[in-house]
Amino acid sequence: MARTIFIILLIPFVHLIIFRPIMDKIIELRVNKGRIKSLQKKQSVFQWLFYTRFRFALPKVWLYPYYFSVFLHFALFVFCIVLLILGEQMLCEYVAKKILLVNAVACLLLHILFWQADFPHIKIERWVSKEIPKEKQKQGKQLAKEIQDKE
């Protein structure tokens, strides 16, 4: 039982370890450091988790799958808790192991896509352009201005 609970608690953290560095690297590539710091000030956990302040910098191709996977992991987390309450520990353990397997495959695929010789760094430039569309740049500037006005 303790092992099953540990696996269930581990799932969201594994997901964040896989996807967050890539999303953060995209933001680093597309937004200057000063604006990143100003947007990160007084950022809530919800804003941090869902990148609400950095939507202008993230391509939809990366943002929507991230949202889907966060929602899916949360739903499966709740599902596994309900299974444990109902006494279906074996089924819960099976589901949790399959989710971890899918996360491992996703991690492997992402590392293959962004692989380069100096391993600690990933090469985002291969798949994401540095330029942000002009409409999105305006949204980012307005957001930064609104945050500064609140302070």
What is the reported pTM?
A: 0.77
List the structure tokens of 121: 């760094």
pLDDT tops 70 at residue 120: no
- The number of domains in the chain is 1
Q: Between residues 99 and 119, which one has the greater pLDDT?
A: 99
Among residues 127, 133, 107, the alpha carbon closest in space to that of 21 is found at 107
pLDDT of residue 78: 86
pLDDT of residue 84: 84
Look up the domain containing 89 and give its range.
Answer: 2-150
C-alpha dihedral sign at 27, 121, 19, 43: negative
Instruction: Please report which confidence band the pLDDT of residue 118 belongs to, taking 50, 70 and 90 as the band edges.
Output: low
Q: Is-contact 77 16, C-beta < 8 A?
A: no
User: Which alpha helices (H) appear in the chain, and where do they start and end?
Assistant: 2-30, 33-40, 45-50, 60-86, 89-113, 134-150
List the structure tokens of 9: 């608690």
pLDDT of residue 121: 66
pLDDT of residue 138: 79
pLDDT digits (tens, 9 = 90+) for 53-64: 898 888 888 888
Cα dihedral: 82, 86, 90, 94 (round 10): -20
